[in-house]
Structure 1
Amino acid sequence: MVDVFDRIEWDVRKIFREDPVCVHVGDVEQCDIKRHPTYSKFRADALAAGVRSAPSSRLWESMIAMGRLCDLDGGDTWRLVILDCIIPCFRSLSTRIARDFRVDREEIRSAMVATALEVWRDTAMGVPPRHVRDRMVKAAFDVAFRRGNADSSEYSMGDIEIFLSSEISTQETELKASSIVDVGSVRDVNVAERIRGERLGALLERQGCFNAARSFHGELRAGRRSGSINQALKAGLPRSWISDSNLYYYASDLYPSFVGLREAAVVMGIAESAAHRLIRAGQFPFPVARAGWSYKVSVRALMHFKGIPDAIVHVDDIENGALHASGGVR
């Protein structure tokens, strides 16, 4: 029988295979640090760092930050990576408790993973990233010993399925809802979609930024790149049956994925030194990525903090809005 530990390990290896892993910004192509290990090497380094001194490890700080950023985007890849790099220290303990207390080993392991995930959620704010790993491990150990003395199981594999399962249908509903922010009074979703795209296009034109959007649109039309919306979501968009679904994208796709902490602090209206203090105290309002000695801030996370909706738009609507804002001159 495949237990939850093995499932997590297999799922993570299926994601990364033998490709290089970037724990700094999540994308090897966008990272300033050019040397990246395969997942096997990365995991070995993470295990060694966790055993020696997780609270002082920049690698674990980066992993926790990437996990938080992944959560914001609705994914679970880096959360699974963190579990996979913690689980080796769970294996022998769960086997020993199952043997000594004569309880089901799989139940113990499921309880440990479920508890670690609860700690992960509970430490999202107010806990410095360097302390998260050790809190997850301690809580999992505690619940393993408690489960060893329990008469019945509080956790089951069904609980873990809920934690790890994809929530695509929920994400799709949320994306559709957020895509009509500021045009909620418009009942026709097709009209609402056009309005929000035209508004963004007009804004880009007025700010003198439309040339960058035009270049991005050219690459989309030529098929040299695509937006970050997956096919399942494209199929559910209001006008996908009359518009080319490959020409939809998130507004955030127009911007770099990450900016430096100094630039982010300016947008947030605080000093860079204050931003550093908040990060060290675990009180920064959203997760940041660690890249060597510096920090990188996710533009999507920054947009969410500022209340800027990351709308799904179509290139035709953006261009129509920009054309109108320019007085019809191109």
Structure 2
Amino acid sequence: MPDVFKRIEWATHRVFGDEPVCVHVGNVGECDIKHHPTYPKFREAALVAGIKSAATSRLWESIIAMGRLCDLDGDSTWRMGVLDCIAPCFRPVSVRIARDFRVELEEIQSAMVVTALEVWNDTAKGVPPRHVRDRMVKAANEVAYRRGRIGSSEYSTDDVNIFFRPENSVGESGLRASSIIDVNNIRDPDVLEQITGERDGALFQRLGHFDVLHQYHEELRAGRRSGSISQSVKSGLSRAWFSNPNLYYYASDRYPPFIGLREAAEVMDISEAAAHRMIRAGQFPFPAARAGRGYRISVKALMHFMDIPDAIIHADDVENGALHAGGGVQRSTP
């Protein structure tokens, strides 16, 4: 029967397959770096870098940052990758302890995995990414020796299943745009959906940026672009039965997935130098992904930090709001 480390390895390889993987922005097609290894090659490089010095490895800094970004979306993909790239370091320790202390190998290995995941959660804030891997390994080794000495069965392999269960995604913050209507008191989801889209469009119109947004909508209507909303989510929207469901999109879909640290710092109203200092100290408020010598910042993570809701909106509603704000005529709804 395969041990827990081998099951983690198999599960991770099933997720990534044999396609190239990108640890800079998560998407090979959107990354400025053109050469990406397959996951097995990537894993080999991560193992070597971790053994040499994870604390000075840009690769491990990127791995940890990508894991944190996935956590924000409730996605365990890269967290699983982190654990898979660390687990081979656990194996010789677990075998030696199981042999020397005459305890169950599976028990020791499960305890190491559970402890590593606890450290992952505990280091989400205030710990620089470059230190996370070493802390996970150190804590796992310590608990393995402790488990060997006491010889009890405090842990079971079932505990590892917490790693494979999806977590609840981070909740969206309240809408902050000024309005005479308090959306928190609206009980009709149809009305709330429409008002949210119209207020969004009105804001873009007032800022003078609606022409760019209108072009995005035209590409949606022509089928040249599509939002990231899944078909199952679209079918669950209450107004989808009379509105074109293909014109629904997340507010974040109209922005690039990642921006540079300088642009993110401007949005956060801090200097780029201050942002670099915060990243080095592990105090940046959300993960920053390594890309070459610089950093790429997730727009979704930035929106969450700035309390900008990533709402599902319909192009018609957005344009109605913009037209109303500009004194135009409302687009008819089928």
TM-score, normalization by structure 2: 0.90
Residue matched to 1:137: 137
Letter matched to residue 215 of structure 2: S
Residue matched to 2:201: 201
Is 1:179–1:312's contact at 8 Å kept on the other side of the alignment? no
Letter matched to residue 246 of structure 1: N
Further displaced range: 232-241 or 260-269? 232-241
User: Where does structure 1 lack aligned partners over 5 or more consecutive residues?
Assistant: none
Shift of 1:171: 4.1
For residues 27-55 of structure 1, the C-alpha deviation after alignment (integer angstroms, 9 at most, x for no partner) is 11211111111111111111111111111
CA distance 1:2–1:317, shift in 2 (3 Å): farther
CA distance 1:263–1:150, shift in 2 (3 Å): same
* Distance in 1 separating the partners of 2:77 and 2:126: 23
2:240 pairs with 1:210: no
SS of the equivalent of 1:302 reads helix
Residue matched to 1:234: 234
* Distance in 1 separating the partners of 2:139 and 2:189: 47
Residue matched to 1:113: 113
Is 1:258–1:298's contact at 8 Å kept on the other side of the alignment? yes
For residues 1-37 of structure 1, the C-alpha deviation after alignment (integer angstroms, 9 at most, x for no partner) is 3443223212221222121111111111211111111
Residue matched to 1:41: 41
Is 2:25–2:258's contact at 8 Å kept on the other side of the alignment? yes
Residue matched to 1:148: 148
* Distance in 2 separating the partners of 1:235 and 1:114: 38
Letter matched to residue 61 of structure 1: E
Shift of 1:232: 4.0
* Distance in 1 separating the partners of 2:98 and 2:195: 60
Is 1:107–1:153's contact at 8 Å kept on the other side of the alignment? yes
Residue matched to 1:91: 91
Letter matched to residue 54 of structure 1: A
Shift of 1:59: 0.5
* Distance in 2 separating the partners of 1:309 and 1:209: 19
Mapping of residues 242-257 of structure 1, within 5 Å:
242-257=242-257
Identity %: 66
* Distance in 2 separating the partners of 1:98 and 1:122: 27
Q: CA RMSD in A?
A: 2.2
For residues 155-206 of structure 1, the C-alpha deviation after alignment (integer angstroms, 9 at most, x for no partner) is 2232221232124xx449x56x868996111011111111111111111222
CA distance 1:319–1:153, shift in 2 (3 Å): farther
* Distance in 2 separating the partners of 1:154 and 1:236: 44
Is 1:179–1:310's contact at 8 Å kept on the other side of the alignment? no
* Distance in 2 separating the partners of 1:3 and 1:239: 49
Further displaced range: 196-205 or 50-59? 196-205
Aligned residues: 326
Further displaced range: 154-163 or 263-272? 154-163
Is 2:61–2:130's contact at 8 Å kept on the other side of the alignment? yes
Further displaced range: 235-244 or 39-48? 235-244
Mapping of residues 279-298 of structure 1, within 5 Å:
279-298=279-298
